[in-house]
Each structure stands twice: as structure tokens, then as C-alpha cells.
Structure 1
């Protein structure tokens, strides 16, 4: 059955070539045997007598070609990117978390970071099953006893992550900061004044006419939103660079109450961030890693369940946290399906489109009980960067998309090594694929992220060369340890 399907895909993919080759060969053989020197002389005389017609045709061709080249979308290149690697002293283990909670109770018995004992037990159970390893990172503020949740501590965390990622990116690309014309920074829950994008402008002395944009409150999928926005701006502003920075702050947003729907976020989110340099300069193609092919954004926030399934709010005791409702699984599944339905026609080969269409017609007009055909995205995509929102999410997408353990290895490894670093997670996953030496020229990588609102956003890149990991890759000193086998 597998061989039959392979033959089917080959025939459909190369159908027109297979049909045209014999026809071209037949025409060429026939014409070569029948055309004479006199025929060529008559053709030349005919062209000389129709000079006006040829001139008009040439003018039309030139005009159409010019319009096409002036109005076609500018290619967007990913020159390089950098993921923040925190220092070793910021690593956190389950035992360290237990010790810190115990110390807090000793200092002040009335200070119960997770409220009731039942909430504490729930926290440990979720933490142990989360898929996170013993080498993830949290900021200095949360290592403190008691934890520091001040504005100063939050700024310190954000500056550490953002400046380190940008410094490494600039060192690797050798780009002059005065050549950067666009800066887009996304951070969902920490948005001080002046904005974080203004902080970057001040730190790196970016030019006064820079297009500076700060995205807030858009959840874990905001990284792809920032890429999509940068793509649109790069269609308007010529010969420039766009700096995209994705991060999240947990110093100020760690939840210290006993509402179980809000405790889960503490188990998954960890310290991290990424800086990405995009270009629309044709000369940058030679040194860039990737070219952006597609971005697809899906927003189901018009539905109340979708809008409220991930929400930052106060609990009964006035403590702020991000709550996750029971509807999140069904909402995520529906939103992902809509995103895939839009992306599929853009990337899937004709053979997969025909199979999908056949099943759709059969289901609609003949038998509505049959299952929808799930396209084989592995025929169009070589590498998958699924947002590591948790082990259950990765398991669900692996099953629904028909992926193999190798396909979701970057997601599981990123969750284990770095945890959920929110919108920057998809860049740690892409860096993992590079560190394993798997990214070859022409390979396509699909980044798919989910976020509050509720949103599912995708970005598809094509490798312009065999991509090696950048200097100071976050996986540089640990890639040989992965993948790791997790207890189920």
C-alpha cells in the first residue's frame, strides 16, 4: 500500500512533465525533418515586413515585465537569529523549588507561596509530568527568598535577556545598528513605560526615524505575529533591516496563589528570549540562512470560549495570574485546524490536495461519517517547530498531523532543556535542528505557535544553504545529550 501511494504521488507531481516530454520529442523530430532552408528564409522575410507588430509586442512585453518586477512581493531573508542562554547560576531543579518554598515558610509562616497543601501537591504533580528537565532557567528575582516581584527586578530580567540576544546577533552578523530601519519587540505581560522597544532604541542608539513597534498582550504566538508584521513593513521600506525581538517576563508575573487553573503556568514558563534579523536587500541573500515563504495567522477571538480560555486576572484573594480553562484543549484543536486549512493549499503538493478534495466530496455528498483526510505535511515540510506549550500539546499535534518522534524531537527537547519560553520557543527549536546538522539547502521549516486570544500562527521558511548553528548557539554545550527518553 505504501509503494502504491508513493507511485501515486510521483505520477501526480510530475504529471505535466511526463505528458509534455513525449509531445516535445515528437514535435521536434517532425519539424526537424520537414523544415528546409527556404522555410527559414520565408520566415525571416515575414518578420521584416511586420516590424510594427513586433515592436508593439516587444513594448507590451517590456511593460508587463516591468510592472511585474515592480509590484511583486519583495523577498524577506532571515540573515541570522540568536537565542538567549542564561548563566548557569539561574538553573532551577525540582528540588531547588521545594527548598525555596520551605525556606519561605521558615522565614514567614504566614507566607504560603502556593496557598493550601492541596495546591502545593497539585503543583508538584504537574511539574513532574510537565516534560521539563532539571536544567531550565528562572530569573534571579525568583531565586531570591522571598521572591522579588518588583518593577526593578522585572526590568533586570528583561534587559538581561534582550540585550544578550541582540549583542550576540550583532556580533554574528556584523550589521551596523544605524542600518536597522525597523524594530519590533513583543512581550505579552510586561509592558512598562517607556516601552521595551524604546529601551532597545536607547541602548543601541538606533536612528531617530526608525519604525519602532511594541506588541503586548498577544501571548505565546506573538513571535510569528511580529515576523508577519516585519514582512509587511519590509514590503514598503526599501533596502533596510528589521530587528524582531521575542521574549516574556516571569519575574513580575509568577503566580503566588492557590488557584489551580493559574498554578499550571508556573510549572511550564521559564526564562528565555530571541532576537531575529530580517532583510529585504537582494545582496543579503548570499549570506542569509532562510527565506520567508508564508505566514498564516488565525484568530478565533470572536468566540467567547476562545477569548476567555487563557486570561490574565485576579483570583479570589486578589493575586494576579494567568488562568487556563477546561475549554483550552477544544479551542486549541479548532484553531489549529483552521490555521492548517489555510496553510495547506499554500504548501501541499497537488497529490495531497486531490486526496483531500476527494475525501471532502465523499463526506459531504455520500457518507458524512467518514473521517476528514489529514494531509501528509511531511511531503511539503521537512522540519517542524511546534510550540512547546506542554507535553500534552506536543502529543496531540504529533498524533493529529501524523508526525513521527523525530519530527517532534525539537519541540520535546526544547521543552525539556529550556521549558516554555513563550513566543521565543520556536527559535530554540529551529536552533536545535541546526545544531543536529539536519537543515539542508532547500529544506522547509514550519513554525507553529499558539497563544491567548485565541490564536494559532504559522511561518514557513526555506533554507538557502546547508545551515550550521550560529556562534554561541543555546545548544552548543548540550546537543549531544539529546534527545532524552522521558518517563510516560
Structure 2
């Protein structure tokens, strides 16, 4: 009897919790809360996936940029501008019978404003008075007289042999013969057969910048290469002897050339 009374008191004691397993919160929640919780979990999973993909993309991009620029250097070795003993060319304008006093004044104003003087270079056919009937030989002679001493000086200053040149870029806007001007340079200096050659024409005043940009893009694909850029303009077949003001500023274009040697290296 005493044992039965003690058992009843134990069961009736509110401080003693029965040892029963409660169901999981998700199963015991109402259906609306279940849907809300599942939606939040899905949104969290999508956000985590988006962050992970963004981090992977950013790391891949940074690695590609680092690999592209790692230990890569492009050097300007040297450059040479065309120079030769000059002849006085003041008689070239005065012997043009189509020009009058207003034309002389206009040309004088243009020459003074541009900084051109008596020592400005001109092709031989214009100096000797054959500017009205230029021939192909005049243009080729002009190019050879510009290219040959300029490249000779460049190879001598840089101590680079022509056979070591990997890339040759030649640009002359208003003269594009066949065979090309670049082929004349290759044959004269006996360059290698696998030299990558580019002959640009019709590029106008931006030809030099386009040539350097071309070399820069080539250096992204080819490592440890030597490039030579030769730039000039042909005046012999393009001289204007008339009196139209819109064409006369063409005299601002003078004979000249430049050769630039650049080297691309990848340091270990």
C-alpha cells in the first residue's frame, strides 16, 4: 500500500518530466511554416552558389591577367631617323609657273607656321625639276635612299644582325608597289625565310601607331622575339604642282623615315 502511494505521488509531481521523444521542429510545424523554411533554405543555397561562382570567376580572371603579364617585358632598343646632307630647295616653289603672288604669300605663311625651312628634305625628282612626270623608279629610289641608311644605322647602333630579326613591319601610306617594300628590305639584308613580315599601306598619319600596336599584339603570342618597324612616306609620285589652296598644304609632307627596334623578353 505504501509503495502504491509513492508511485502515485511521483506521477502527480509536476516537476518530473516524462521521458518521451518530441518530434522534429520541421515535422511539428504547420504547413505554412514548412514552406517558408524550405524557401529560405533554397534562397540561401542559391546565394551561396552565386558567391562561389563569382569568387571562382574573379580568381580565374586575376590568374589569367597575372599569367599574361608575369615577367613579360617589351623594350625599345633604339631608333634612328633619316638624315642626309641637305640641298637648298627654295627654287622649287619659285619655278612653278602656275603660282602667283597670292599663292607665294600663302605658301610662305604655311611654311613659316609649320617650321619647315630650307633644310627640309625632298625627293630627287622634285629637286631636279621632274615633279610633273614622276616614274616608278623615282619612288623606288626615294624609298631605298630612306630605308637603306636608316636601317644600316639602326643595325650598327644596336649591334643586331639582320638575320636575328623575327618580325618586320613596313608602312608607307601612299606607295604600295609589287613586289612589296618589305620584300626589298628582306632581300637586301638577307633576312631569314621564317621572318614574319607585314607591309602596311593606306593608313595615313596613324600608320606608325598602327605598326607599333601590331607589334605589341604579336608579342602577346610570340615570346622572346625581336621586331623592327620601318616607317616612311612617298613624296616623289604624289607632289602637287597646282594652285588649289585645298591641295597646297600637301607640301607639309616631307621626305623622311624612321626605324624602330623593339625586343620582347620573358624573364625566368
Normalised TM-score (structure 2): 0.69
Contact 2:168 2:182 in 1 (8 A): yes
Q: Closer, same or farther in 2 for the Cα pair 1:210/1:262, shift >3 Å?
A: same
* 2:92 counterpart of 1:97: yes
Unaligned runs of 5+ in 1: 1-62, 106-111, 284-488
* 2:151 counterpart of 1:166: yes
Q: How many residues align?
A: 206
Equivalent residue, structure 2, for 1:156: 141
Per the TM alignment, residue 134 of structure 1 is displaced from its structure 2 partner at its CA by 2.6
Equivalent residue, structure 1, for 2:7: none
Per the TM alignment, residue 204 of structure 1 is displaced from its structure 2 partner at its CA by 1.0
Q: Closer, same or farther in 2 for the Cα pair 1:70/1:251, shift >3 Å?
A: same
Of residues 69, 74, 88, the one that matches 2:86 is 88
Provide, for residues 58-106 of structure 1, a one-character-per-residue CA deviation record: whole Å limited to 9, x for no partner: xxxxx999866543273211011111102223x43xx3334443xxx5x
State the structure with bigger RCO (CA 8 A, min sep 6), 1 or 2. Answer: 2
Contact 1:234 1:242 in 2 (8 A): no
* 2:244 counterpart of 1:259: yes
Provide, for residues 318-373 of structure 1, a one-character-per-residue CA deviation record: whole Å limited to 9, x for no partner: xxxxxxxxxxxxxxxxxxxxxxxxxxxxxxxxxxxxxxxxxxxxxxxxxxxxxxxx
Q: How does 1:19-38 map to 2 (within 5 A)?
A: none
Q: Closer, same or farther in 2 for the Cα pair 1:193/1:281, shift >3 Å?
A: same
Contact 2:111 2:117 in 1 (8 A): no
Unaligned runs of 5+ in 2: 1-59
Of residues 192, 215, 224, the one that matches 1:239 is 224
Provide, for residues 392-448 of structure 1, a one-character-per-residue CA deviation record: whole Å limited to 9, x for no partner: xxxxxxxxxxxxxxxxxxxxxxxxxxxxxxxxxxxxxxxxxxxxxxxxxxxxxxxxx
Per the TM alignment, residue 144 of structure 1 is displaced from its structure 2 partner at its CA by 0.9
For the aligned residue pairs, the C-alpha RMSD in angstroms reads 2.5
Equivalent residue, structure 1, for 2:235: 250
What CA distance in whole angstroms lies between the structure 1 residues aligned with 2:154 and 2:239?
Answer: 29
Provide, for residues 257-286 of structure 1, a one-character-per-residue CA deviation record: whole Å limited to 9, x for no partner: 2221011111x1211110000111257xxx
Equivalent residue, structure 2, for 1:342: none
What CA distance in whole angstroms lies between the structure 2 residues aligned with 1:222 and 1:64?
Answer: 33
Normalised TM-score (structure 1): 0.39
Per the TM alignment, residue 195 of structure 1 is displaced from its structure 2 partner at its CA by 1.1
Contact 1:188 1:218 in 2 (8 A): yes
Contact 2:171 2:200 in 1 (8 A): yes
Equivalent residue, structure 2, for 1:214: 199
